[in-house]
Amino acid sequence: MSTLSYILEKGRSVPHHAPWPRAIADADLWTSAMRALSEGGLVLLGLWGEGSAVHMALLDEPAGTIGALSLEGLDSAGYPSVAQSHPPALRLERAIRDLTGLEPQDLPDSRPWLDHGRWDLRHPLGERGSALPEVSPYAFLRAEGEGVHQIPVGPVHAGIIEPGHFRFTANGETVVRLEERLGYVHKGTEALMAGADLSRGAQLAGRVSGDSTVSYAYAFAQAVEAAVGLVVPPRAIWLRALMAELERLANHVGDIGAICNDAAFPLMLAHCGVLRERVLRASNAAFGHRLMRDRIVPGGVASDLNDDGAAGLRSLLAEIRRRFPPLVELYDNTTSLQDRTVGTGRLRAELAREYGAGGYVGRASGRGFDARQVLRYPPYDSLAFDVPVLNDGDVNARVWIRIREVEQSLSLVEQILDHLPIGPIFNAIPTVDDRREGIALVEGFRGDILVWLRLAPGGRIDRCHLRDPSWFQWPLLEAAIEGNIVADFPLCNKSFNCSYSGHDL
């Protein structure tokens, strides 16, 4: 029996949690799950709280299954901190503490995370309290030594990018430590979800992170459908994957250019920018929105693909297939560019594994997990594709993973266009009169996106948690930058391209 099913079977199974089980644990079972995490037998997919409960989502990688484990009926004593034995849980637990007030016992770092002391309240997802009258300045970690100095950057950055704060401690040009401080774009999305109807929920989910609007809507819709037990028409299932692959294409080609630009090679940005724009225009022609926002809805999709749209996508494929290979060759053969990307920002494989790093960050450091492949959600179960994996873990490896993924997405788009079933694109959501829970893991361009939700009788959202892959990638950026020069930070940062909005929520 797999580790995960063993643990879940020892707990009390929750009714109407689909498609994977959720079990309620006692403190002992919670602790044995913590042990499995820290020993590497399970991967932490998410950790979130509400009222008097904490939940963790777990992945059993060898078995290819996921599930959730909960501690319920917590009081002021809190719960055993997962982070004390498993560091990837740290920021999640700091966030849980800010949002719900639930106290992780022996939390190794008790500084607030999302709560900057600027809201009018505390614990918006738990028992709400009034804000503290005074906020103490955020205590950055200390670094001491001769010649060591600090460089504060942000929250407002020099480019057109999202806000966050970076505190570099440097010795000369070399970064000794990077500390991130995030939470600037926290919008309280999960509190807005509570009590919302499904269309508002879908709207909010699609606005968690702009570059992953398709993937978030996709994951949200899947979680809802799992909860109510709705089967979506085949055509809609295929169109969803089509949009997801277009989103992946647009982001990958855009980022490949942007990474090269940060290595002082703007020619690639110009060319890749053209390809990105082509993808957005073709998506607009096909689905009526450049980013395909609000096109995936619970029950199906909101716009159908007509012949003109499909023809546009086919000529897009032809164009990228013509123009992309010379760019790859250019990347591969430009020594000034390679000089910056090879060996820079190396992320060790053990760390990527420990943190369950998703997407190109994990795959460039030897972790080949891809939700499309491992969970085989349709239509990916009937499509042929490879998941590229490299072991170097540097900026160069992350660029190559993206290059390979562009090629895979091109093939997927083509396969989808070739085999797109005909028929309806939407099934109405049935009303349910009991409590239902659903969970979904969808592969976005950046990695796996987790959505867990509980619907109240009648179908409104009771609680919805959305976990961005960046939660597990941001801490790794801190590790990868160490020992690099400050000037290579933009390069490392862009090659990770973690989401701020998705993380801050």
Using CB under 8 A as the criterion, which residues of the chain lie in contact with other proteins when the complex forms?
116, 118-121, 124, 155-156, 158-163, 183-189, 191-192, 200, 203-204, 207-211, 213, 267, 270, 273-274, 276-277, 280, 290-291, 293, 326-327, 330, 333-334, 499-501
Least distance CB 452 / ligand SF4 (angstroms)? 22
Nearer to other proteins, 27 or 274 (CB): 274
We find the least distance from the C-beta atom of residue 501 to ligand SF4, in angstroms, to be: 8
- In the bound state with ligand SF4, the residue whose beta carbon lies nearer, of 116 and 207, is 207
**Choice between 364 and 505, CB closer to ligand SF4:** 505
Q: How far, rounded to the nearest angstrom, does the alpha carbon of residue 395 sit from its chain's CA centroid?
A: 19
Tokens of 193: 């979800």
104-105 and 79-80 beta bridge pairing: parallel
Residue nearest to ligand SF4 (CB): 207
Concatenating the DSSP letter of every residue in 60-118 gives: ETTTTEEEEEEE-S--TT-EE-STTT-GGGHHHHHHHHHHH-PPEET-S--S-SS--S-
Query: Which phi and psi angles does 48 have, rounded to 5°?
Result: -150, 165
How many Cβ atoms sit within 10 Å of the Cβ of residue 228?
A: 19
Four-residue CA torsion sign, 400, 37, 450, 189:
negative
Site for ligand SF4 in 209-238 (CB under 6 A): 210
Kindly state the helix (H) or strand (E) to which residue 470 belongs, with its residue range: helix 470-481
Nearer to ligand SF4, 289 or 348 (CB): 289
Find, among 216, 210, 217, 337, the residue nearest to 268 by Cα: 337
Smallest separation (angstroms) from ligand SF4 to the CB of 210: 5
Do the beta carbons of residue 450 and residue 460 sit within 8 Å?
Answer: no
Transcribe 199-225 into DSSP letters.
HHHHHHHTTS-GGGHHHHHHHHHHHHH
- What pairing do the DSSP bridges indicate for beta strands 165-171 and 174-181? antiparallel
367 binds, among ligand SF4, other proteins, none (CB under 5 to 8 A by kind): none
Instruction: Work out how close the CB of 101 gets to other proteins at its nearest, in angstroms, rounded to a whole number.
Output: 14
User: Which of ligand SF4, other proteins, none is residue 85 near (CB under 5 to 8 Å by kind)?
Assistant: none
CA max distance for the chain: 70
CB closer to ligand SF4, 294 vs 437: 294
Answer for the pair 38, 31: CB distance below 8 angstroms, yes or no: no
The option from other proteins, ligand SF4, none interacting with 185 (CB < 5 to 8 A, set by class) reads other proteins
Two tokens, residue 62: 């060898």
The residue (of 379 and 469) whose beta carbon lies closer to other proteins is 469
* Rounded (5°) CA angle 402-273-496: 35
In the complex with other proteins, which residue's Cβ is closer, 51 or 155? 155
Least distance in angstroms from the C-beta of 204 to ligand SF4: 9
Site for ligand SF4 in 429-488 (CB under 6 A): none
Of these partners, other proteins, ligand SF4, none, which one is at the site of residue 162 (CB under 5 to 8 Å by kind)?
Answer: other proteins
Q: How far is the CB of 13 from other proteins (least distance, A)?
A: 35
> For other proteins, which is the closer residue by CB, 201 or 459?
201
Q: CB atoms < 10 A from the CB of 73, how many?
A: 9
Closer residue to other proteins, CB minimum distance, 291 or 416 = 291
**# residues contacting ligand SF4 (CB under 6 A):** 2
Site string for ligand SF4, 316-345 (x = CB under 6 A): ------------------------------
By CB under 6 A, name the one of 10, 111, 207, 353 that touches ligand SF4: 207
Partner whose footprint covers residue 38, from other proteins, ligand SF4, none (CB < 5 to 8 Å by kind): none
Amino acid at the residue 136: S
Distance separating alpha carbons of residues 473 and 499, to the nearest angstrom: 9
Nearer to ligand SF4, 188 or 210 (CB): 210
Q: Which does 43 bind (CB under 5 to 8 A by kind): other proteins, ligand SF4, none?
A: none
Give the residue ranges of DSSP H helices in 263-376.
266-287, 307-333, 335-341, 349-354, 359-363, 371-374
**Using the rule CB under 6 A, is 163 a contact of ligand SF4?**
no
Q: At what angle do helices 234-262 and 213-228 cross, to 10 degrees?
A: 150
Which residues contact ligand SF4 by CB under 6 A? Answer: 207, 210
